[in-house]
A and B are shown apart, each in its own frame.
Chain A
Amino acid sequence: KAGVTQTPRYLIKTRGQQVTLSCSPISGHRSVSWYQQTPGQGLQFLFEYFSETQRNKGNFPGRFSGRQFSNSRSEMNVSTLELGDSALYLCASSLGFDSTSTDTQYFGPGTRLTVL
């Protein structure tokens, strides 16, 4: 089975721009989560989508948003980029048997975003 894929792998943007990152989960997985990793804050949860619905959200400003499509693929968007948004953005997928399940998450290689 193919693993979680993320595109693009690297991205350079300037302050004020917006960016969209894409994540394709493992086949059959219905839940997709996003995390931000920075040297200062570590790994922080952004949000989780299950069956096209956001079911959990971390403590990030509204500039960070996401969505999930019917094929479970997910995108996250960051608007009005700030220097502090430079980070590795990791996507993870899990089976998601139902809305209450807490499954093992499998991670993609990440998208490294640099904001200049």
Chain B
Amino acid sequence: AQKVTQAQTEISVVEKEDVTLDCVYETRDTTYYLFWYKQPPSGELVFLIRRNSFDEQNEISGRYSWNFQKSTSSFNFTITASQVVDSAVYFCALSVYGVASGSRLTFGEGTQLTVNP
């Protein structure tokens, strides 16, 4: 069985601060995929990034960066110079490869990020 843990339920920062959202996952599968989604108040889950288990390179996209470490089973997400528009709930998710699994996502509990002006 798969499990994703986001220990931070809520984070509140002031605009322009950097913030890191933690994600720890558990799986016995060797081929798996990790995702981050953003859920603004409108409710729609917005895809941010996907990484596969064989690619541990960190990634940067504008103010967003992701740190994937298999040794600690973590896939953390950092927002640099946060903005009010970053306020949302962020979900980390895991999917494993295989016919039985399909594209099924196992989500963490989510982290509510509030960026104050």
| Chain A residues within CB distance 8 Å of chain B | 31, 33, 35, 42-45, 48, 50, 55-56, 58, 88, 90, 92, 94, 96, 99-110, 112
Contacts and interface: CB of A to CB of B under 8 A. Distances in A.
Interface of B: 33, 35, 37, 42-47, 50, 91, 95-110
Contacts, number: 72
Contacts of A100: 97-99
B107 A33 contact: no
Contacts of B45: 90, 92, 107
Report whether over half of chain A's contact residues are helix, strand or loop; otherwise say mixed.
Answer: strand
Contact of B102 (A48, A88, A112): A48
A102 B44 contact: no
A48 to B, nearest CB: 5
Nearest to A9: B43
Give the interface centre of B91, B102, B107, B109 by most chain A CB atoms within 10 Å: B102
B104 A104 contact: no
